[in-house]
Amino acid sequence: MSTVVPALQLDHVSRWYGNVVAVNDVSFALGAGVTGLLGPNGAGKSTLLHLLAGLLAPSAGTVHIGGRVAFGDPMVYSMVGLVPEREAVPGYLTGREFVRFNADLQGVADASAVTDGVIATVELTDAADRSIRTYSKGMRQRIKLAAALVHEPSILLLDEPFNGLDPRQRLHMMELLRRMAAQGRAILFSSHILEEVERLAEAILVMFAGRLAASGDFRSIRRLMTDRPHRFTIRSSDDRALGAALLSDPAVFGVDLLDGRLAVQASDLGAFARIVAPVARAAGIRLHELTPTDDTLESVFSYLVRR
Amino acid sequence: MRAFVAIVGVTARALAGRRRTLLIALLAWLPVLLAILVRIGGGRPDAPEILDALVIRTVCPLVALVVGTGAIGSEIEDGTLVFQLIKPLPRWLVALAKGLVAAFVTSVLIVPPMVVTGLLLGGLGPDAIQTTGGFALAGLVGGSAYAIGFTALGVITGRALIVGLGYTLIWEGVLAGILEGTRFLSVRQATLGVAAALTGEDVGEEPLAAVLSIGILVVVTVGGLALTTLSLRRFQLRTAD
Amino acid sequence: MTGHVAPSAPPAPTGVPAAPTGNIYDLGYRGYDGPRYGRLTVALALLRQSLQEAFGIGRGGRAKIAPFLLLALNTLPALLAVGITALVRQAGGGDVLGDANPIRHDTYWSLTSTLVMLFCAAQAPELFGRDQRYGVLPLYFSRVLTRLDYALARTGGLFIAILIVTLSPQLVLTIGAILGAADPVTGLRDELPEIPRYLAVCLLGSATFAGVSAVVASYTPRRAYSVAGIIALFIVPPIIVSIIAALSVPDIARVLLLASPSDVIDGVNGVLYGPLRIAGETIVVATLDGWVYVVTALGYVVGSLAILVRRYLTITV
């Protein structure tokens, strides 16, 4: 853990609109790398990103970005790039003009070359001289990304960046973000598509109904959920006998005989891992396959939002 | 500096391309149409009457309202302002750029038709030139003050158009006329004061003194810019509707 | 715990032919077979809801500011007039104001029509523009409510709202006159001939304003355009007319008068009351025959309804 100031830091941040609490007492600190902000629609992800981007003031708590207070400090934007989801791009400008505009406002040196470079990065060179009005959703998304990259920000906030991108563009953008994170930038992106987050994020933040439900690496989060049984699927030479044998061990508290396999619920991951092989051998049963069935982000997520 | 120019350029393009700007430009040329009608119909060509009653009292504030609230307000409404705010620019710079464009576009829209109207009705004699020129100049400074004031209004409230109309129609139209002591709170009166001083024409009820009028317009302009700056500093994204 | 593996868990590992599973969960959902309300009830419900929306009721505090403020401002002069007349009478001045009082039944419309126009400009976009902007028209039209019903119900709501705004001050003046008179019966008798007159002006005026603003608002879903359009249509023509009249081109002025809804209603007012006199001076003299104004006003109402209905019959959702 480096000693530099964390790129993003929230301390007990809440944001409410009258009676509706959009963000509820959220605290975390992020550094370099890619973090995924995960949550269902309405969880408060966009609000959180807007708070980080200084476009909303927190109703309580403090938001620091790059060590400075996010709201009310325009100079913070020389190191922050934001790719908003809802905010529209001006349709009457061409892609190139829009990116150039952003570059000019950022005071980027050699704006023309940088504009061309960043447009090439998002693969919009062919369409750059058409007006944005004619762009598809995915193209608008990419031009917003280009605009956010002109000044090579050390902190990048993206709100649902993969919306409207086809699989190839999605992979391309993921690769781009990974590269940028490897350069030491802090990247936070939000999504409600689990596969995207699982593939790209090194760490996740899970939001639900305005609260932070969990943060960190999703496998470690899973391990922390001791009140949820770990589930496994086993294929063996004799499922029924194996099930009976496993049930006699205190680490296991549920088995299901399903068609062609055995579903096991274990309370303690470590203990189960130690006993499953000896138990099978003692009973003379051959194990063909053992798979954890809820070690995915999806099941972690569904546990988190159901508590 | 480059950023300032960039904002000016984009805002000007945004205003110029909007349909509402074109429609309000039509309104600005209405006095010319009237002047033509009057000339054809053989009516009395009373330039100050038209320039005063129609242009200064109606066209000027309405054009400034549409342009001013459009300079920032419409960008807030359609969401494109965000891209200009998340930049390391001091807010007064943004306010100044936007205000300048609003004032400039307003002037460009109302001054040429005023000049044409005045010439059509008054001819080219020295008196007529003074009348036309005086009203045009008053329209320039008054319209700019209006525009900058309404730009600030566009940031402060989402219903800037209605509030601005309420101000123009109710406050300036009725109340400031009834309550004598509040005439200095009316940009219209200040504009008329400037017009009266420049043209020596009788512009209806007793106009404000020239110095006071100019002072009011300066206060409105500077205050508008300051208010815009402050509002931009405290700007937060609005929830839908 | 004997539950199944959660349905959302990923399928079994490769190599095992996953048994196709399908589950139907009984959530207790049932269709409705009972009696349903008909078109009329639904249309009336939309009318009631439009009326509420026109005053911002049911939409949170900020939506109520503009309509209620304008309603209050419109009624304020009447309250002031009643109050001052009562005070003067108390001070022994009798009915000294009489004709000099500028706030009367016959003068009220032209006095405050600007406020009514602002009300239209503020609320018509809410009623006609929002449904288009948020794309909810298909939700309305896929019910027993027809497009015609929708157009009429919405306009009806706006009409009643404007009527409330225009009628309230007149009622205040009437009540004030009745209560302030020597005895209520005399007061009522004196007021009685006024009532049908101002009712007619308010009904025709509200209908005209409602129709015209509805048409503008339904063609311009974006609020700024609606507001500007409505105001332009109401405010600008009278100014043009008065200028042209002042510059003595009466023929053109007469024709242009009819293109200005607000002047037309002023004309109707003149028809019913004759020339308006304030403090002995005649302020407004109708330049056209009375029936022309009334017919034109009716024309506005019918015409705008026709355009509005056509708009909603042909709008693609």
For chain A, the three-class secondary structure string (H helix, E strand, C coil) is: CCCCCCCEEEEEEEEEECCEEEEEEEEEEECCEEEEEECCCCCCHHHHHHHHCCCCCCCEEEEEECCEECCCCHHHHHCEEEECCCCCCCCCCEHHHHHHHHHHHHCCCCHHHHHHHHHHHCCCCCCCCCEHHHCCHHHHHHHHHHHHHCCCCCEEEEECCCCCCCHHHHHHHHHHHHHHHHCCCEEEEEECCHHHHHHHCCEEEEEECCEEEEEECHHHHHHHCCCCCEEEEEEECCHHHHHHHHHCCCCEEEEEEECCEEEEEECCHHHHHHHHHHHHHHCCCCEEEEEECCCCHHHHHHHHHHC
Q: How far apart are CA C271 and CA C279, in angstroms?
A: 20
Q: How confident is the model over A302-307, as a mean pLDDT?
A: 73
DSSP code for B56? I
Kindly report which listed range (A151-160, C174-183, C244-253) carries the lowest average pLDDT score.
C244-253
Question: Using CB atoms and an 8 Å cut-off, which of residues 171-230 of chain B contact chain C?
Answer: 173-174
Nearest-CA distance C141 → chain B (Å): 23
- Whether C242 sits inside 8 A of B53 (CB atoms) is yes
The amino acid at A34:
V
Q: How do residues B25-42 score in pLDDT, each as one tens digit?
A: 888 998 888 888 777 777
Q: Chain B residue closest to A16 (CA)?
A: B239
Q: How confident is the model over A172-178, as a mean pLDDT?
A: 91
Task: Between A301 and C152, name the one with better pLDDT.
Answer: C152
Q: Indicate the pLDDT class of residue C1, thresholds 50, 70 and 90.
A: very low
Would you state the pLDDT for residue A113?
A: 95
Which one of A229, A289, A298 has the shortest CB-CB distance to C13? Answer: A289
Question: Using CB atoms and an 8 Å cut-off, which of residues 3-22 of chain C contact chain A?
Answer: 4-6, 8-10, 12-13, 15-17, 19
Would you state the pLDDT for residue C107?
A: 85
Kindly report which listed range (A60-69, C49-58, C93-102) carries the lowest average pLDDT score.
C93-102
The pTM (predicted TM-score) of the whole model is: 0.80
Chain B contact present for A46, CB below 8 A: no
Q: At what angle do helices B19-28 and B2-17 cross, to 10 degrees?
A: 70
Select from C255, C251, C252 the least CA-distant residue to C292.
C255
Would you state the pLDDT for residue C282?
A: 53
Cβ-based contacts of B88 with chain A (< 8 Å): 74-78, 106-107
Q: How confident is the model over C266-274, as a mean pLDDT?
A: 81
The position carrying tokens 């994170």 is A181
Q: How do residues C92-141 score in pLDDT, each as one tens digit?
A: 776 666 666 778 888 888 888 889 999 999 999 999 999 998 889 999 99
Does C221 score more than 80 pLDDT? yes
Nearest-CA distance C65 → chain A (Å): 17
> Nearest 5 degrees, angle CA C119-CA C123-CA C126?
170
Instruction: Using CB atoms, list chains with 3+ pairs below 8 Å to chain A.
Output: B, C
Which one of A76, A86, A92 has the shortest CB-CB distance to B13? Answer: A92
The amino acid at B153:
L
Q: How do residues A196-217 score in pLDDT, each as one tens digit?
A: 888 899 889 988 888 888 888 8
Q: Which residues have C-beta within 8 Å of that of residue B97, sequence separation ≥ 6?
A: B4, B7, B8, B11
Cβ-based contacts of B7 with chain A (< 8 Å): 105
Q: How do residues B154-170 score in pLDDT, each as one tens digit?
A: 999 888 888 999 898 88
Q: How do residues B113-153 score in pLDDT, each as one tens digit?
A: 988 888 888 778 888 888 888 888 999 999 999 999 999 99
Q: How confident is the model over B43-53, as a mean pLDDT?
A: 68
Which one of C73, C225, C247 has the shortest CB-CB distance to B43? Answer: C247
Q: Chain C residue closest to B65 (CA)?
A: C228
Chain B contact present for C232, CB below 8 A: yes
What is the average pLDDT score of chain A? 88
Task: Reduce the DSSP state of residue C37 to 3 states and report it.
Answer: coil
Q: How many CB atoms neighbour CB C198 within 10 A?
A: 26
Would you state the pLDDT for residue A197?
A: 86
Would you state the pLDDT for residue B47?
A: 65
Chain C contact present for B37, CB below 8 A: yes
The position carrying tokens 């101002």 is C198
The position carrying tokens 């953008």 is A173
* Pairs across A and C, CB distance < 8 A: 45
Q: How far apart are CA C223 and CA B99, in angstroms?
A: 23
Which one of C1, C6, C16 has the shortest CB-CB distance to A235? Answer: C16
Would you state the pLDDT for residue C23?
A: 62
Does A252 score more than 80 pLDDT? yes
Burial-class residue C47 by CB neighbours within 10 Å (0-12, 13-18, 19+).
buried
Q: Which residues have C-beta within 8 Å of that of residue A12, sequence separation ≥ 6?
A: A25, A26, A27, A60, A61, A62
Q: How confident is the model over A164-168, as a mean pLDDT?
A: 86
Would you state the pLDDT for residue A74?
A: 92
Q: How far apart are CA C76 and CA B70, in angstroms?
A: 33
- Residue A64 corresponds to which tokens in the numbers above? 């620091």
Kindly report which listed range (A249-263, B48-62, B158-172, C135-149) carries the lowest average pLDDT score.
B48-62
Would you state the pLDDT for residue B84?
A: 93
Would you state the pLDDT for residue C88?
A: 83
Q: How far apart are CA C284 and CA A116, in angstroms?
A: 68
Burial-class residue A73 by CB neighbours within 10 Å (0-12, 13-18, 19+).
middle
Backbone angles phi, psi at A158, to 5 degrees: -130, 130
The amino acid at A203:
A
Does A111 score more than 60 pLDDT? yes
Backbone angles phi, psi at A64, to 5 degrees: -120, 135
Q: How confident is the model over A137-160, as a mean pLDDT?
A: 93
Q: How do residues C3-49 score in pLDDT, each as one tens digit?
A: 444 444 444 445 445 555 666 666 777 888 888 888 999 999 999 99
- Whether C224 sits inside 8 A of B74 (CB atoms) is yes
Chain C contact present for A267, CB below 8 A: no
Q: How confident is the model over A98-114, as a mean pLDDT?
A: 94
DSSP code for B180? G
Distances from the Cα of C223 to the Cα of A55, B51, B161, C124, C128, angstroms: 24, 30, 9, 9, 10
What is the average pLDDT score of chain B? 86
Q: How do residues A128-138 score in pLDDT, each as one tens digit?
A: 999 999 999 88
Q: Which residues have C-beta within 8 Å of that of residue A117, sequence separation ≥ 6?
A: none
- Residue A136 corresponds to which tokens in the numbers above? 């598809």
The amino acid at B218:
V
Chain B contact present for A277, CB below 8 A: no
Which one of A235, A261, A293 has the shortest CB-CB distance to C9? Answer: A293
Q: How confident is the model over A33-54, as a mean pLDDT?
A: 90
Would you state the pLDDT for residue A144?
A: 94
Distances from the Cα of C274 to the Cα of C104, C205, C277, C297, angstroms: 14, 17, 9, 17
**In chain B, what percentage of residues exceed pLDDT 70?**
90
Q: Which residues pair with A36 in a beta bridge?
A: A189, A204
Which one of A56, A72, A106 has the shortest CB-CB distance to B233? Answer: A72
C294, C258 Cβ separation under 8 angstroms: no
Q: Which residues have C-beta within 8 Å of that of residue A181, sequence separation ≥ 6?
A: A32, A33, A34, A187, A202
Kindly report which listed range (A209-213, B49-53, C208-212) carries the lowest average pLDDT score.
B49-53
Does C286 score more than 90 pLDDT? no
Q: How many CB atoms neighbour CB C58 within 10 A?
A: 10
Chain A contact present for C91, CB below 8 A: no
Q: How confident is the model over C184-188, as a mean pLDDT?
A: 84
The amino acid at A45:
K
Task: Reduce the DSSP state of residue B72 to 3 states and report it.
Answer: coil
How are the residues of chain C apportioned to helix, strand and coil, as percentages rounded to the nearest 5? Answer: 70, 0, 30
- Whether C252 sits inside 8 A of B41 (CB atoms) is yes
The amino acid at A276:
V
Q: How do residues A233-249 score in pLDDT, each as one tens digit?
A: 999 998 899 999 999 88
State how far Cα C315 lies from the chain centre: 22
Task: Between C123 and B189, name the one with better pLDDT.
Answer: C123
Task: Reduce the DSSP state of residue C101 to 3 states and report it.
Answer: coil
**In chain A, what percentage of residues exceed pLDDT 90?**
50
- Per-residue DSSP letters for C230-298? HHHHHHHHHHHHHHHHHTT-HHHHHHHHHT-HHHHHHHHHHHHH-SEEETTEEEE--SS-HHHHHHHHH
- Residue C121 corresponds to which tokens in the numbers above? 């400009």
Q: Chain C residue closest to A236 (CA)?
A: C16
Give the neighbor-by-neighbor strand order of the sheet with A261-266. Answer: A252-258, A261-266, A230-236, A287-292
Would you state the pLDDT for residue C21?
A: 60
